[in-house]
Amino acid sequence: MTGAIAFLTSKLGIALVAVVAAGGIALFIYDKGHDSGTTEVRVEQLEKTNEIQRKIEDADAHGPRTPDDVDRRLRDGRF
């Protein structure tokens, strides 16, 4: 244990701790940047999904109500 403390208090040990800390900070910043890009992709996908869902609901609201309505529209050529 005393050897580890002596190493960490030496110039080489301090430099090693600084490099490890800088690497950890760089990794943290990189990860946050990656997460924000992922979030943007998720938001875009959610917007597309919502738009498609609105189109489905709109088509459902204006579509035929019963099977007889479907038959009538098919016969009339309005489908």
- Cβ 49 vs Cβ 57: under 8 Å: no
pTM of the model: 0.43
* Share above pLDDT 90 across residues of the chain, in percent, rounded to a whole number: 18
Spatial distance between the Cα atoms of 73 and 51, rounded to a whole number of angstroms: 27
Q: Mean pLDDT, the chain, as a whole number?
A: 83
Q: Does position 79 have pLDDT exceeding 70, yes or no?
A: no
Torsion region of 64: left, alpha or beta (phi above 0 gives left; psi -120 to 50 gives alpha) = beta
Spatial distance between the Cα atoms of 62 and 66, rounded to a whole number of angstroms: 12
Spatial distance between the Cα atoms of 51 and 43, rounded to a whole number of angstroms: 12
Indicate the pLDDT class of residue 30, thresholds 50, 70 and 90: confident
The residue extents of the domains of the chain are 24-79
